[in-house]
Structure 1
Amino acid sequence: MKRTILAVTSLFFTVTNGIAQEVAFEEYDLENGLHVILHQDNSAPVVTTSVMYHVGSKDENPERTGFAHFFEHLLFEGTKNIERGEWFNIVSSNGGSNNANTTTDRTYYYETFPSNNLKLGLWMESERMLHPVINQIGVDTQNEVVKEEKRQRVDNSPYGGLIYGTAVQPHLFKNHPYRWSVIGSMEHLDAASLDEFIAFNNKYYVPNNAVLVVAGDIDIDETKQLIKDYFGAVPKGEPIIRNFPKEQPITQEIKVTEYDSNIQIPALALCYRTPAMTEKDAYVLNMISTYLSDGKTSKLYKKMVDENKSALQVFAFNRAQEDYSMYNIFALPLGDKPLSLLETEIDEEITKLQTELISQKDYQKLQNKLENDFVNSNSSIQGIANSLARNYMLYDDTNLINTEIEIYRSITREDIRNVAKKYLNKNQRLKLEYLPESAK
């Protein structure tokens, strides 16, 4: 990629709830294909070093689901130069913090240290990329860790199947690998050989499938030299070709019943397959989510929880993803109210969105909320590092960190009505009744 430099400036732009300074950054590629993004902010003596790999659950073999999430854990096991079990001790003993997370589309690792430990953060991430130790002891150890996580978050957690998608995705997707959840199958992990784990690492955790972000109290020239020293020798991987099967449009409502032994109150889920996160319609759906269920004055909450007292809780959100997104509306009934009543009340609000323009007052409220969220998302070094990596990798536009708010500002009330009419229709959705096991 052609080297791009956004010079440090003092440019400010006014937003409704405050003043947000433009995030200056520089990006370039190493010869091995590693994309590098640098953001200098010397206002506090901290630095975040992060690496995002373009690998998520959608990149897995259908017979080996759960690999990407498994590697989120496995690559903390140790390296050639970091003894097994010492990763977190090294971070904490040097005043740092670290974490990682996995989605359907990418895996993200980061460390935040006092800025005098920049070298340490870069060395550790280069070790993870260049010298990971993948052996049977580590695989067996993390297998138990992942199993326990699945038991806690999905199997034994109320509404775990809804929250983590295991009850939704297989019905909403039939062809695309979004049909399985990020947590994957424990049986698939048990059946995998050590060679399969090594092959997965060699394919995806390579510099040309990653972006390195260093943000915070740094000197740009010094940081570039350190990056070259630590990452320049990492060998380039083979090109990764993705050609996932496409989904046919949903033309008839999919009706499904799932059961959960951990709940006593049933739930209603109305789920729609929506466009990729890069499309403008996905931004409109984000606005619709805010309008319907963000806060106690939102339309669904006010109607169903406060006024009609038909729902204990209701919320809507657009789960933005690289290839297709998922728009979900979940509701829990209050008392003995039937799920059919919740469905009717939700559909009434959707119909209003499809046939009427929201009020100018509500529209301005939406804009204010989104601009406030935009400012807050860039208020920490960790948040900036995450945004820079995500925008480059999944949107192919690193500068969205400065310009994304303009997309929301360009959305009109007519756009909101048209997008609701285009995607939020009964014949295009999954209707899932999520019931207690006792209801069988």
Structure 2
Amino acid sequence: MRYKFLITLSLSGLFLCASAQQVKFTEYDLANGLHVILHQDKTAPVVAVSVMYHVGSKDEDPQRTGFAHFFEHLLFEGSENMKRGDFMKIVSSNGGQNNANTSQDRTFYYEVFPSNQLELGLWLESERMLHPKIDDAGVKTQREVVKEEKRMRMDNKPYGKFAENIFSHLFDGHPYSWQPIGSMAHLDAAKLDEFIAFFKKYYAPNNAVLTIAGDLDIENTKILIAKYFNEVPIGVPVIKGTFELKPIAKQIVDTVYDANIQIPAIFAAYRIPGMKSRENKVLEMVSTILSGGGSSRLSTKMVDQKKTALEVAAFNYTLEDYGAYITLALPNNNTPLNGLLTDIDAEVTRLQSDLITESEYTKLQNQFENGYVSANSKMIGVAESLANGYTLHKNTNDLNEQLAQVKSITKEEIRDVARKYLTKDQRVVLYYLPKK
């Protein structure tokens, strides 16, 4: 046991040393408004090429939901200079990997290549931005792909609709009230010219950031970027909508029945500030105290000691405008759902009443340090963190400031923010039950 403890201390020291290093970057704008961020790291012959567009489901017409996620798929269809279906073949045949993801706030595309294929990555992303293939054949194909994804991830997945039901209450009056995958009926009803108009509005260089991280030469990379992106025409400036939600003044209770589950669950969710708020980071720390690992408060109490829960968790769903703080539990030994909620509430109340211990505070700092290092251990992680900083925080250097912010958060702040936001009259409680 002592041997393992010493190893843990040694690893913590390594993490602390690594996390103290600053991620250096160069950033500038092209004449068409494309923001460029370059990070050089020659420790491995790998380069990550990424483009983040500041568009997500938040930017959709309420009668045409799912467009941003749909384009995550559609923009792999090819281009005027690439056959349909060749995008991924080109990447894999040149030793690379690629993927994309969409949130409520942004869409992120990337390739990871051996560094001698940097130019290929730039060409692929410039083709996606300048010459995408948006036609009836591609739309028809991707409609079916998205429908199957929805069936797998939501309709037929156990507990797959919890976020849909919680967010519809928590963010009523805001586009966050629907999920990024959107409505299949909306996608079926949309015409080709609507998809083309959505692309022209949001997938322009002045609504994007190109981030490249890895084994690269800065000056040569700038030349290649100019070669492939200077010709992309600037788009009409994107004006983001603003949404002010009324406070939740009374607990909202709802029940959902799911044919895909045998074990019920209970959720409690609270609306919290968006990701730019310091309080949002404090609430991330609150969730880690409650359920960050097997020795966390909720796991120790409900899973190990009382054995009333098969699983219990608390997590921060961080978004640009607002966020959702969600707790959940699955019962063990037929424990009533209300009993689980009572136990979770008791631990929240303890956080609101008493300061965490010094050992918990030290552990919390180490967990955030380790998480920071893990998230940025690969070049694509660094690229995404830099892009998120610029796009969502209006601060590319956010990556380098995160740990200092965490270190500055006090035990008193943790208590006070928990008091402010995790109150019963400001939440949604969802009973998630098997459908008989």
Task: Give your verdict on TM over 0.5.
Answer: yes
Which of 419, 422, 427 aligns to 1:421? It is: 419
Instruction: Give the aligned partner of residue 347 of structure 1.
Output: 345
* CA shift digits 1:116-153 (9 cap, x unpaired): 11110000000000000100000000000000000001
Contact 2:285 2:364 in 1 (8 A): yes
Measured in 2, the distance between the counterparts of 1:221 and 1:363 equals 44
1:337-358 per-residue CA deviation (whole Å, 9 max, x = no partner) reads 1100001000000100111101
Aligned residue among 402, 420, 429 for 1:431:
429
2-structure distance, mates of 1:259, 1:45: 51
Letter in 1 for 2:408: S
SS in 1 for 2:165: coil
Deviation at 1:402, TM superposition (A): 1.4
**Which position in structure 2 is the counterpart of 1:171?**
169
Deviates more, 1:98-107 or 1:330-339: 330-339
- 1:372-399 CA deviation, whole Å, 9 max, x = no partner? 1112222111110110101110011111
- Note if contact 1:273-1:326 (Cα within 8 Å) is conserved in structure 2: yes
**Corresponding position: 1:86 with 2:86:** yes
Structure 1 residue 14, shift from structure 2 partner: 8.5
TM-score calculated relative to the size of structure 1: 0.95
The CA distance in 2 between the partners of 1:324 and 1:224, in whole Å, is: 36
Q: Secondary structure at the match of 1:166?
A: helix
1:167 CA drift (Å) = 1.8
Conserved? CA contact 1:269–1:328, under 8 Å: yes
Following the alignment from structure 2 to structure 1, what is the Cα–Cα distance between the partners of residues 116 and 240? 40
1:369 equivalent in alignment to 2:382: no
In structure 2, the partner of 1:391 is 389
- CA deviation after TM superposition for structure 1 residue 332, in Å: 0.5
Q: Which of the numbers 156, 162, 178 marks the counterpart of 1:180?
A: 178
Could you tell me which amino acid in structure 2 is paired with residue 89 of structure 1? K
Quote the residue 1:71 is aligned against.
Answer: 71
Asked if the contact 2:19/2:369 (under 8 Å) is kept, the reply is: no
Secondary structure (helix, strand or coil) at the match of 1:168 reads helix
Residue deviations 1:320-350 (CA, integer Å, cap 9, x gap): 1000000011110112111000010000001
Query: Does structure 1 residue 225 correspond to structure 2 residue 223?
Result: yes
Give secondary structure in 2 for the equivalent of 1:347: helix
Could you tell me whether the CA contact under 8 Å between 2:33 and 2:205 is conserved in 1? yes
Q: Distance in 1 between matches of 2:164 and 2:192?
A: 26
The answer for the alignment partner of 1:4 in structure 2 is: none
The residue aligned with 1:215 is 213
State whether residues 17 and 372 of structure 1, in contact with CA within 8 Å, keep that contact through their aligned partners in structure 2. Answer: no
Which amino acid in the other structure matches residue 133 of structure 2? V
Matches within 5 A, 1:37-186: 37-162=37-162, 165-186=163-184
The structure with the greater share of residues assigned to helix is 2
Question: Per-residue displacement from partner, 1:148-174 (whole Å, max 9, x unpaired)?
Answer: 000001000001012xx2121111111
User: Residue 235 of structure 1 aligns with which residue?
Assistant: 233
- Partner secondary structure for residue 62 of structure 1: coil
SS of aligned partner of 1:104? coil
Q: Deviations over 1:20-43 (max 9, x none)?
A: 422110000000000000011112
State the shift of 1:243 in Å. 2.2
Alpha-carbon distance in structure 1 between the residues aligned to 2:427 and 2:282: 18
Structure 1 residues 83-133: Cα deviation after superposition (integer angstroms, max 9, x where no partner)? 101111000000000000000000000001111111100000000000001
Letter in 2 for 1:25: F
SS in 2 for 1:149: helix
Contact 1:14 1:20 in 2 (8 A): no
Cα distance in 2, alignment partners of residues 189 and 372 from structure 1: 41
Q: Say whether the 8 Å CA contact 1:46–1:115 is kept in structure 2.
A: yes
CA distance in 2, matches of 1:215, 1:15: 21
* In 1: Cα distance, 2:205 partner to 2:333 partner: 54
Q: How does 1:329-340 map to 2 (within 5 A)?
A: 329-340=327-338
**Unaligned runs of at least 5 residues, structure 2:** 1-12
Do 2:49 and 2:111's aligned partners in 1 also have CA atoms closer than 8 Å? yes
Q: Distance in 2 between matches of 1:22 and 1:53?
A: 25
Q: CA deviation at 1:319?
A: 0.6
SS of 1:171 mapped into structure 2: helix
Q: Distance in 2 between matches of 1:278 and 1:329?
A: 22
Q: Secondary structure at the match of 1:160?
A: coil
SS in 2 for 1:373: helix
Residues 41 and 215 of structure 2 are in contact (CA less than 8 Å); yes or no, is this contact kept in structure 1? yes
Q: 1:53·1:211 contact (CA, 8 Å) conserved in 2? A: yes
Partner of 2:312: 314
Structure 1 segment 317-328 matched on structure 2, within 5 A: 317-328=315-326
> Who is 1:273 aligned against?
271
| 1:401-432 deviation line (CA, Å, top 9, x unaligned) | 21210110000000000000000000000000
Shift of 1:17: 6.7
Q: What whole-Å deviation, never above 9, does each CA across 1:162-202 have from its counterpart, x for those lacking one?
A: 2xx21211111111100001111101100100111000000
Paired AA for residue 355 in structure 1:
S
Q: Deviations over 1:225-273 (max 9, x none)?
A: 1101100110011011112331100010001011111001111000000
Partner residue of 1:401? 399
The secondary structure found in structure 2 opposite 1:167 is: helix
Letter in 1 for 2:73: H
The Cα RMSD (Å) is: 1.2
**Amino acid across the alignment from 2:107:** T
Structure 1 residue 19 displacement after superposition: 5.2
1:11-22 to 2 correspondences below 5 Å:
16=16, 18=18, 20-22=20-22
Contact kept? 1:35, 1:212, Cα under 8 Å: yes
* Letter aligned with residue 52 of structure 1: M
1:28 is aligned to: 28
Unaligned 5+ runs, structure 1: 1-12
8 Å contact from structure 2 (residues 19, 372) kept in 1:
no
Q: TM-score normalized by structure 2?
A: 0.96
Aligned mates of 2:319, 2:51 — CA distance in 1? 19
The amino acid across from 2:116 in the alignment is N
Q: Secondary structure at the match of 2:254?
A: strand
In the aligned structure 1, how far is the partner of 2:33 from the partner of 2:243?
27
Conserved in 1, the CA contact under 8 Å of 2:36 and 2:209? yes
CA distance in 1, matches of 2:134, 2:422: 45
